[in-house]
Amino acid sequence: MTLATGSPLYGVLCNAGTSGDCNYNINVILESHLACFGNECNVEMPRVVKVGEVFYEYVRPACVNLPFSTDVSSVISKSGKFACADKNDNESVQFACCKDSNVLQHTCGFSGSRVSYDENTAMCSAFFGASGSICDGMGEIIISGEGLLYPKQDGSIDSLSCFATGGQVDPLYWQGSTCSIKMKVNNEGQIAIVHKSDTAHTATHLMAVDQESPFYFDVVWPETGSYPAPSNNCNSLSACAVHAEYCLCDIDMTESQVFTANPSSAEELMDSLKVGHPAVDMFDAGSFSEEVTSSGYTIYRPTGSSGLAKETLFKVVTNGRTIFYKNMILQVTIPGQGGISIRNPPTFLNLINPVSRDAFYETEAVIDHFFYHPNSPTFFAVNFIKRLGTSNPSPDFVSTVDQAYRDGSFEKDGVVFGDGSYGNLEATFASVMLHADATTVAVDADPFSGNLREPTLSYHAFMRSMELEPAADSPYFELWLDNNGEEMFYGPGVFGFFDSNYEPD
């Protein structure tokens, strides 16, 4: 999309100097809300904009997708691949397809644009009035030109069409036909996502959502063995059909409020809420009212509301991170007598339009999960002490290093180490090297004190101290390495040959 010179966004990205020439920056962060201008107001999700001769890509914050939904409609790709998309998805569908009787009309607005189902519907009304509707001919693709597009009689695709540019190799468009998303469950309780059209068609399914897709993943069921599976005749649930290797089940969606009264603590809040929310400062001023509590969290209510509702937000600051939670739980339910519910499993990657950016976001989220996990400080403390201090650290030694890692600060004889940020290594290693157990000479008399190296490391350290230079035909060095119990690549786990809780005796 090319920005007009009168656009506030153009002004920020151009960053013109006194001469009027643009001074482009590599990265631009919008510090405040900007009013849309002209055609910008018709764009639901910006992607790439052109400012003069320079292109800027909008990098949205990390968001998750919920693979199960009941508010869905069919989409079909240029090559005839079928899938079922949430009608609120404004990132997957590249152009609008409208019809009036037997007349088709398409538009993409500009190369690379994306439209939601409701936006597509609005475009159809603009084209044809009340008689306009979204295309419903599965597999029928007739495209020509850019902007307002008209069908070509021979069904060919113009090389300058919406398909020619925009980043999608096999772009999608909305279909008016209905569809449904089903759950496939195998004997191990793993599930897969299946998209089914309610209209007969010749299009093939996208592999990730095909009924015979091999892409299963784990979920948490309420009780062990409670899930429907071929081995238990799908728990006799009427919503499920038994197949040889899986049960194929209809689903319902439930959206429930979690707290009706203020939670007693931030810990209770974080244990119960799993749905995140963008920071409130991303919304217009006055959108929320704030209530600071004495229980370690802040409540944000939509302006004009009172009490707690599903739309209520909670802010928690933990380990230096600010997290917003929404007061709701989203569940997928297999209906019927004895029906069962699971949490709607979040995913960073969009099943029908995966992009590398979201793979990066998911990798970052996994790293953050381990870094901020409540067990990580203790795990690091024990292992740092074992390598740099004593093999059998005392509880106080571990507790001190653990706290230094969490607080990002450690004080010894009036000297403060660290900057106060969670996981600060200056504070962590200072607490390891300067703790009383590491500096008190009397501790050396304790037979359980000191650092006992692993066999291979001990052997190498001794050989280095002896300045060993093995002869070329000497077999002893290789024989020892092959028989010391720590052969290379034969470790029993990712943490080596010794459990992280191992203590030599």
Give the per-residue pLDDT at 163: 45
Beta-sheet strand order (sheet of 240-242): 191-197, 179-185, 247-249, 240-242
- From residue 239, alpha-carbon distances to 122, 211, 229, 253 in Å are 35, 16, 13, 14
The closest of 253, 252, 248 to 183, measured between CA atoms, is 248
The closest of 223, 245, 224, 222 to 234, measured between CA atoms, is 245
The C-alpha atoms of residue 172 and residue 168 are separated, in whole angstroms, by 9
Give the per-residue pLDDT at 406: 95
The amino acid at residue 388 is L
Give the per-residue pLDDT at 474: 66
Give the per-residue pLDDT at 112: 65
Give the per-residue pLDDT at 149: 37
The C-alpha atoms of residue 381 and residue 393 are separated, in whole angstroms, by 10
The C-alpha atoms of residue 322 and residue 421 are separated, in whole angstroms, by 13
For tokens 């006992």, the residue is 452
The closest of 399, 382, 395, 356 to 495, measured between CA atoms, is 382
Give the per-residue pLDDT at 168: 52
Give the per-residue pLDDT at 498: 76
pLDDT tens series, the chain, 505 aa: 889 999 999 999 999 988 889 999 999 998 888 899 988 887 777 788 999 889 999 888 888 889 999 999 988 877 778 889 999 888 888 777 777 765 665 665 666 678 888 888 887 887 778 777 887 654 343 333 333 333 333 333 333 344 444 445 677 888 878 899 999 999 999 999 999 988 766 678 888 899 998 999 999 998 766 899 999 999 989 999 999 899 999 999 989 999 999 999 999 999 999 999 999 988 888 899 999 999 999 999 999 888 999 999 999 998 888 999 999 999 999 998 778 999 999 999 888 888 888 999 999 999 999 999 999 999 999 999 988 888 888 899 999 999 999 999 999 999 999 999 999 999 999 999 999 999 888 887 777 777 777 777 787 788 889 887 777 776 556 656 666 677 777 777 777 777 777 777 6
Query: Helix 376-388 and helix 425-434: axis angle, to 10°?
Result: 50
Give the per-residue pLDDT at 146: 36
The amino acid at residue 145 is G
Look at residue 268 and give its three-state secondary structure: helix
Give the per-residue pLDDT at 368: 93
Beta bridge partners of 343: 331
Give the per-residue pLDDT at 102: 57
Q: Give me the sign of the Cα torsion angle 275, 278, 279, 285.
A: negative
The C-alpha atoms of residue 211 and residue 293 are separated, in whole angstroms, by 49
